[in-house]
């Protein structure tokens, strides 16, 4: 497929997002993307638009290498995006066949297919490692964490812009140690359990990555804050939280809120950006499921002073190692 054809197909895909503003379609898409954990939420959205019945997707190369499977003739690939690279084509499990004709292996292939066709099965267990991971990743985005906020049971968490340098972040590696002030503070109710804390953090990060908060002073390159009505911002943040909660097997208030709204209204609120929701969900999912190193966070990308200070500290460490006199065994 040529670059022109790829772009044309992408344009059709992105245009198709608009048809999911009906409450019923939006809820189906959100549920699908919450359960399709093998790929990021944004690509899961693209998969749903193209192939809502898909269950397990890999590239042709991976099907052959990992499962000894070929792709059926005339199978139509699903188009997804990859960071800083070309488009990628995935094939659903229903597009495959076993390359090895050995009867025993064919039997094993059948059992494998049954297993892979059930990727949406959940255990209902919430792994607390997700909570530790997302808290550890906050500082990469310039967010300080306060777990000791005393509040009533109706209060979950609050993420706000800081007006001073009162909350330092500490970055450590084998080569350097650096303290730098946070731009935002995430406070959570000290009386909340792990599940409540996780759901509240996901909601606040939904606001953060949907660009509902004001950018740090003199740091306009972070983002242009989206000036939206309160109900629109809450709907977007709740959608992000619900989607991620589904992925980690956590029931949350977001589910009740969104189900109630979607069941009572034919369309999602005017002003809600479906694309913003899924882009935000992508970022939140990375915070939950991977390690965000200091050079991959928003602080490093957008705060020039942090980047310069970090470079100075690293260069200083390198220079000190180079000028260090080798120690004699006889000293």
Query: Is the CA virtual torsion 99, 101, 102, 106 positive or negative?
Result: positive
Q: How far apart are CA 118 and CA 271, in angstroms?
A: 35
Half-sphere exposure of 289 (CA within 13 A, CB side): 15
Residue-wise pLDDT tens digits, 138-170: 999 999 999 888 766 567 789 999 988 889 999
Residue 6 predicted with pLDDT over 60: no
Query: Is the CA virtual torsion 318, 322, 323, 328 positive or negative?
Result: positive
Please name every residue paired with 149 in a beta bridge, in sequence order, or none if there are none. 189
Residue 223 predicted with pLDDT over 50: yes
Residue 221 predicted with pLDDT over 90: no
On whether the CB atoms of residues 250 and 198 are closer than 8 A, the answer is yes
Per-residue pLDDT, averaged over 273-299, amounts to 93
Q: How far apart are CA 260 and CA 249, in angstroms?
A: 20
Task: Return all residues near 167 (Cβ < 8 A) that are at least 6 apart.
Answer: 144, 146, 181, 182, 185
Query: Is the CA virtual torsion 54, 133, 198, 21 positive or negative?
Result: negative
Q: How far apart are CA 232 and CA 324, in angstroms?
A: 58
Which has the higher per-residue pLDDT, 233 or 11? 233
Pairing of strands 184-189, 143-149: parallel
Task: Report the pLDDT value the prediction gives residue 210, as an integer from 0 to 100.
Answer: 95
Q: How far apart are CA 130 and CA 252, in angstroms?
A: 15
How sure is the predictor about 91, in pLDDT bands with cuts at 50, 70 and 90?
Answer: very high
Residue-wise pLDDT tens digits, 100-135: 765 555 555 565 665 555 544 444 557 889 999 999
Q: How far apart are CA 164 and CA 182, in angstroms?
A: 9
Q: What percent of the chain has pLDDT over 90?
A: 43
Task: Report the pLDDT value the prediction gives residue 83, as an integer from 0 to 100.
Answer: 77
Q: How far apart are CA 62 and CA 82, in angstroms?
A: 16
Query: Is the CA virtual torsion 320, 325, 330, 331 positive or negative?
Result: negative
Q: How far apart are CA 226 and CA 228, in angstroms?
A: 6
On whether the CB atoms of residues 41 and 281 are closer than 8 A, the answer is yes
């Amino acid at each position: 497929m040529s670059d022109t054809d790829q772009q044309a197909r992408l344009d059709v895909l992105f245009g198709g997002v608009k048809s999911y503003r009906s409450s019923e379609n939006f809820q189906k898409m959100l549920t699908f993307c919450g359960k399709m954990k093998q790929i990021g939420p944004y690509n899961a959205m693209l998969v749903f638009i193209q192939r809502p019945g898909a269950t397990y997707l890999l590239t042709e190369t991976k099907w052959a290498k990992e499962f000894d499977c070929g792709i059926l003739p005339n199978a139509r690939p699903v188009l997804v995006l990859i960071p800083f690279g070309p488009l990628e084509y995935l094939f659903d499990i229903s597009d495959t066949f076993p390359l090895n004709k050995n009867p025993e292996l064919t039997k094993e292939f059948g059992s494998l297919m049954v297993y892979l066709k059930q990727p949406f099965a959940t255990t209902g267990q919430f792994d607390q490692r997700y909570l530790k991971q997302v808290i550890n990743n906050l500082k990469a985005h310039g967010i300080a964490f306060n777990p000791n906020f005393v509040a009533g049971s109706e209060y979950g968490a609050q993420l706000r812009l800081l007006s001073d340098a009162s909350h330092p972040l500490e970055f450590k590696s084998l080569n350097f140690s650096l303290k730098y002030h946070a731009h935002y503070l995430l406070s959570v109710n000290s009386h909340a359990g792990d599940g409540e804390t996780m759901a509240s953090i996901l909601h606040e990060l939904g606001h953060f990555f949907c660009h509902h908060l004001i950018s740090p002073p003199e740091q306009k390159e972070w983002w242009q804050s989206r000036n939206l009505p309160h109900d629109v911002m809450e709907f977007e943040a709740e959608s992000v939280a619900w989607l991620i909660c589904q992925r980690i097997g956590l029931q949350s208030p977001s589910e009740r809120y969104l189900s109630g709204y979607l069941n009572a209204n034919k369309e999602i609120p005017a002003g809600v950006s479906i694309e913003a929701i899924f882009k935000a969900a992508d970022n939140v999912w990375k915070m939950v499921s991977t390690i965000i190193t200091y050079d991959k966070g928003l602080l490093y990308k957008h705060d020039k002073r942090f980047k310069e200070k970090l470079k100075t500290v690293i260069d200083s460490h390198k220079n000190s190692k180079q000028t260090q006199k080798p120690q004699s065994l006889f000293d």
